[in-house]
Amino acid sequence: MRKKLIKKEKAIIDNLGDDKMKEKFYLATAIAYTSGKPHVGNTYEIVLSDAIARYKRLQGYDVYFQTGTDEHGLKIEHKAHEANLSSQAYVDGIANEIKRMWDLMNTSYDKFVRTTDPLHKQKVTEIFKKLYDQGDIYLGKYEGWYCTPCESFITESQLIDGNCPDCGRPATLTSEPAYFFKLSKYVDRLVEHFEKHPNFVEPISRKNEIINNFIKPGLQDLCVSRTSFKWGIPVSFDEKHVIYVWIDALNNYLTFLGYDIEGNHSELYKKFWPVDLHVVGKDILRFHMIYWPIILMALGEELPKKIYAHSWYLTSNSKMSKSKGNLIYADDLVELYGLDAVRYYLLSQMPFANDGLITQDLIVEKINSDLANNLGNLVNRTITMNLKYFDGKIQSNKNKDPVDDDLINLAKKTVKIVDEKMNAYHVSEALEAILNLSKRCNKYIDETMPWSLAKDVTKLERLGTVLYNLLESIRFIAVLLQPFMPQTSEKILQQLNTEANSLESLSTFGGLKEACEVKLSDPLFMRVNK
Ligand code: MSP
């Protein structure tokens, strides 16, 4: 795997010169905490980002797709202690597990980063020092509730009857020296940025929530150092303090691209900065929408183009959590249902701005209705008919009938719908449009009844046209499915025996070549028994 990554990184660097004509696209996911194995909610984010990255590549963008792990902090220090491991050994194990999960999901990231990387630590140290030297970070006093056994600060609203929400023991009011970031200095510029770029954060409803809850009441300066734990990047000029984990984590987007504090940035940085799209969960939008742009303003770097805050997968209407014992893991689902079925579920069942539900029953229902009955069945019976009636040879589509128009128009329209939806990151709606085309094909089979055309020798040419229209529509489906279900798409294109898989190849309905032979493979999806 490591070899594969090094090869990928080398390819990106080698390409720096060649792809000058292509527009660049830097896509970054949040970096997952190495506190434990990632559940299906965390995994959704990388699959969602992967679908976007693959679509951008299909559109011809030169994509740089970064993901990785966030490895410092008190919680991780505790977990390592519980597991009787050094913090480093603990995060090494979990980071491997996260990477294994991202690879199992067939995600096409270009770089997997880890915040324990020495180069990242050095750059974060330099960034912190620079912000301190220029007066944006200052030494102050942190005052608040503290749980001594857990060594953690608790906000007033987290207290349960004056006790720590984690261990239940009494919290005490304490005060300790800490460094603070002058967010207040930049807040007017930030608000101006929101006003000038109304689509900077989506969905808009989430942006407004944060403006109302955090900016309008008055933005407090942010405490950016801790003395209560050790597992973090030390403040170089005051080693009792470690850098607060968000300042460490957010900067991953800069440091791993080759940002240099003196301005001698790498070629990769010069080409790909700024981030074009941050994909993060709704719970961490605040950090990306307020702290992150302010850090960049203070460093004098360009701000990201867009932040998309996706919703959450809930299970039976409640949040997944270890204590409720309702965690679902993507690797278990893949073992049960197959990779692309899981990718399909994750990508199709999360609305743009609301939470999605995931349960085993719902997964089985979707596989049976959308994948086995609709898509799988369409491909299987169309290829089977073309083999049966024409020995597999694709016929010409000369013998037209008005009933064809609706199907052909929908195939062409689907390309546009998918493009519009994907450009707006309405991923589940793009996928829905593709499955609707598949449904329309099944209806066309009912309308044209190829089996009855086959009984009449004078209608063979018409039969050939009907099957051509179906096979070509299936090619449209397969090409459009590439970002969402890459393996399924490839299997369909192999059965169609075509290499016409680019978006440009969908500019005309007629990409399949006459006389080429289709091939039947195993069914794409089997029905699953509840
Ligand atoms: N380490 C921070 C992010 C730092 S980014 C500079 C973090 N890590 S996390 O492991 O807790 O979460 C990783 C991502 O998974 C976040 O974007 C988070 O919102 C997302 N999700 C966590 N639970 C989720 C669901 N149930 N459903 C969908 N996404 C979920 O936050």
Q: Identify whether 351 is part of a domain.
A: no
Q: Are residues 413 and 314 in the same domain?
A: no
Q: What pairs with residue 243 in β-bridges?
A: 225
Distance between Cα 53 and ligand 1 center (Å): 19
**pLDDT, average across residues 80-108:** 97
pLDDT of 14 reads: 56
Mutation test of ligand 1: which of 27, 33, 40, 42 has the most ligand atoms closer than 8 Å to its C-beta?
A: 42
Task: Give residue 17's pLDDT band: very low, low, confident or very high (50, 70, 90).
Answer: low
Q: Are residues 297 and 403 in the same domain?
A: no
Q: What is the pLDDT of residues 281-331, one digit of tens each?
A: 999 999 999 999 999 999 999 999 999 999 999 998 788 876 778 899 999
Distance between Cα 444 and ligand 1 center (Å): 43
Q: Are residues 280 and 405 in the same domain?
A: no
Distance between Cα 283 and ligand 1 center (Å): 7
Distance between Cα 233 and ligand 1 center (Å): 21
Q: What is the pLDDT of residues 433-478, one digit of tens each?
A: 999 999 999 999 999 999 999 999 999 999 999 999 999 999 999 9
Distance between Cα 190 and ligand 1 center (Å): 24
327 close to ligand 1 (CB < 6 Angstrom):
no
Q: Are residues 105 and 137 in the same domain?
A: yes
435: containing domain: 359-507
Q: Are residues 363 and 331 in the same domain?
A: no
Task: Give residue 228's pLDDT band: very low, low, confident or very high (50, 70, 90).
Answer: confident
Long-range CB pairs of 415-420 (<8 Å, 24+ gap) are 415/476, 415/480, 415/503, 415/506, 418/480
Q: Are residues 330 and 391 in the same domain?
A: no
Contact 256, 276 (CB under 8 A): no
pLDDT of 271 reads: 98
- Return d(Cα 411, Cα 420) in angstroms, integer: 15
Q: Identify whether 44 is part of a domain.
A: yes
Distance between Cα 164 and ligand 1 center (Å): 23
Helix (H) or strand (E) holding 154: strand 152-154
Task: Give residue 15's pLDDT band: very low, low, confident or very high (50, 70, 90).
Answer: low
Task: Give residue 10's pLDDT band: very low, low, confident or very high (50, 70, 90).
Answer: low
pLDDT at 150 over 80: no
Q: Are residues 322 and 389 in the same domain?
A: no
Residue type present at position 152: S
Q: Identify whether 363 is part of a domain.
A: yes
Last residue within a domain, chosen from 305, 336, 367? 336
Q: Identify whether 349 is part of a domain.
A: no
Q: Are residues 64 and 173 in the same domain?
A: yes
pLDDT at 5 over 50: no
Q: Are residues 330 and 363 in the same domain?
A: no
For residues 159 and 124, the model is more confident at 124
Q: Could you tell me if residue 60 is left (phi over 0), alpha (psi between -120 and 50 degrees) or otherwise beta?
A: left
- Return d(Cα 447, Cα 469) in angstroms, integer: 13
pLDDT of 159 reads: 87
**pLDDT, average across residues 372-391:** 98
Positive or negative: CA dihedral 295, 298, 303, 306: positive
For residue 34, the tally of other CB atoms under 10 A from its CB is: 30
Q: What is the pLDDT of residues 211-227, one digit of tens each?
A: 999 999 889 899 999 88
For residue 409, the tally of other CB atoms under 10 A from its CB is: 12
Q: Domain total for the chain?
A: 2
pLDDT of 325 reads: 80
Q: Which residue has the tokens 């190849």?
A: 505
Q: Identify whether 211 is part of a domain.
A: yes
In 159-208, DSSP assigns E strands to 172-181, 201-202
pLDDT of 3 reads: 47
Q: What is the pLDDT of residues 387-409, one digit of tens each?
A: 999 999 999 999 999 999 999 99
pLDDT of 144 reads: 85
Q: Are residues 323 and 382 in the same domain?
A: no
Question: Whose C-alpha lies nearest to ligand 1, atom 7?
Answer: 32
pLDDT of 175 reads: 86
Q: Are residues 267 and 369 in the same domain?
A: no
- Return d(Cα 211, Cα 508) in angstroms, integer: 46
Q: Are residues 366 and 415 in the same domain?
A: yes
Task: Give residue 21's pLDDT band: very low, low, confident or very high (50, 70, 90).
Answer: confident
Mutation test of ligand 1: which of 245, 283, 292 has the most ligand atoms closer than 8 Å to its C-beta?
A: 283
Distance between Cα 348 and ligand 1 center (Å): 19
Flag whether the pTM goes above 0.75: yes
Mutation test of ligand 1: which of 45, 278, 318 has the most ligand atoms closer than 8 Å to its C-beta?
A: 45
Q: Identify whether 527 is part of a domain.
A: no
* Structure tokens that stand for 15 in this block: 């390409």
CATH number at residue 149: 3.40.50.620
Task: Give residue 253's pLDDT band: very low, low, confident or very high (50, 70, 90).
Answer: very high
CATH number at residue 409: 1.10.730.10
**DSSP 8-class letter at 73:** S
Q: Identify whether 518 is part of a domain.
A: no
**Which atom of ligand 1 sits closest to the CA of residue 283?**
19
Q: Identify whether 262 is part of a domain.
A: yes
